[in-house]
Amino acid sequence: MMDQTPIPDPEALRLEAQAWVVRFRSGIATSADTAELLQWRARSPEHARALAEAIAVRRLIAAASGESDVPVLSGMAGSASSRSRTGVGRTALGRRAFLGGAVAASAASLLMTRPPFELWSSLSELRADYRTGVGERRTIALANGATVELNTRTSASLLPSRETIGLDLISGEVAIDATHASQPVAIHTPAGTARGQGGRFAVRLEAALSCVTCLAGVVDIENAWGGREKASAGYQLRYTDRNFHAATRVDLGRAEAWRRGLLMFVDEPLSRVVEEVNRYRPGRIVVVDDHLGHVLINAVFQLDRINTVVAQIRDVSNAHVTSLPGGIVLLS
């Protein structure tokens, strides 16, 4: 008879393991929590592996910041390997330690440049001239009479020049009001540059894409390979460093809703809704069921009441909600 034991979902296990690490790092874990964690770890080799990986990531962060380790977690990172008492064994261990240190240093560098799940800021974000945290918005007055509003989890650095006032958008989204600007405002991203004067536009980073929405006037866009396009009011254009996607008409009310403290969705897949909501709340919401992720959602969320979003999503999608420590929520 075949084994009918379900295979644990790797993504869900990673998130649960990270939630355990967050709980024990917080200092509020009890002896009962320790016993429960031991039981969770013993459920399967996949559970044990997920916990070991989560602890390894936390150790790299702790080492980089000079924090101390958590003894309980140290004992759960994995089974201890046998140590040889011979000279050859010590030499082999030394080589492994050297290689392990090199791998750890490389991993630490990667973790700081591309943090998993965006759980912490990258080095580029930490060095930015302007930053906003989770749920925070900030308006900056530029020297040429324009203003730039930073959306949540946004970082940017000033790049002034004689011809333009420029910003290097490192992460997130900005809205530019250049209605009374004395010179063009240029927003630089890895994909290229968007310039505008005498109008309003927004620029957002979406993985390898840059997304420009023209709110008023005209925006000139040049990608990294020298291709050029224009976007007029009411149109949105996505592009990479090499290619432009076709411009699409957008509802400007919805496009600017975040500036009014709202998130608006009309016939959007739940997976897309959750992706956007995750930018505005601590922790992370994860859609575990792929079928559920395709359910279309119509909703308006208030950013100043973001803590009610999970309940609203549950009500409109009939999803089962599992809440974990660290603000992690599983939808199934």
| Residues 159-195 pLDDT 10s | 867 778 889 999 899 999 999 999 999 999 999 999 9
Asked if residue 145 belongs to a domain, the reply is yes
Residue type present at position 10: P
Asked if residue 179 belongs to a domain, the reply is yes
Asked if residue 119 belongs to a domain, the reply is no
Asked if residue 4 belongs to a domain, the reply is no
pLDDT, residue 4, reads: 53
Tens of pLDDT, residues 99-147:
444 444 444 444 444 444 444 444 454 567 888 888 899 999 988 899 9
Query: What is the count of structural domains for the chain?
Result: 3
CB 260 within 8 A of CB 302: no
Q: Are residues 161 and 178 in the same domain?
A: yes
Q: Provide mean pLDDT across the span 83-89.
A: 39
Q: Are residues 69 and 38 in the same domain?
A: yes
Q: Are residues 190 and 243 in the same domain?
A: yes
Would the pLDDT of 31 be above 70?
A: no
| Rounded distance between C-alpha atoms, residue 237 and residue 222, angstroms | 12
Q: Are residues 70 and 33 in the same domain?
A: yes
Q: Are residues 133 and 223 in the same domain?
A: yes
Q: Are residues 217 and 154 in the same domain?
A: yes
- 267 or 88, higher pLDDT: 267
Q: Are residues 209 and 312 in the same domain?
A: no
pLDDT, residue 148, reads: 95
Comparing 69-83, 279-293, 311-325, the range with the smallest average pLDDT is 69-83
Asked if residue 181 belongs to a domain, the reply is yes
Residue type present at position 261: G
Comparing 70-74, 162-166, 285-289, the range with the smallest average pLDDT is 70-74
Per the structure, the complete domain to which residue 101 belongs is given by 10-113
pLDDT, residue 248, reads: 96
Residue type present at position 58: R
pLDDT, residue 327, reads: 81
Residue type present at position 19: A
pLDDT band, residue 211 (cuts 50/70/90):
very high
pTM: predicted TM-score of the whole model, two decimal places: 0.65
Burial classification of residue 66, based on how many CB atoms lie within 10 Å of its CB (0-12 exposed, 13-18 middle, 19 or more buried): exposed
**DSSP H/E element including 204:** strand 200-206
Asked if residue 178 belongs to a domain, the reply is yes
CATH of residue 287: 3.55.50.30
Asked if residue 150 belongs to a domain, the reply is yes
CB 220 within 8 A of CB 188: no
Tens of pLDDT, residues 317-332:
899 998 887 788 888 8
Closest by alpha carbon to 213, among 255, 184, 241?
255
Closest by alpha carbon to 121, among 96, 153, 85?
153
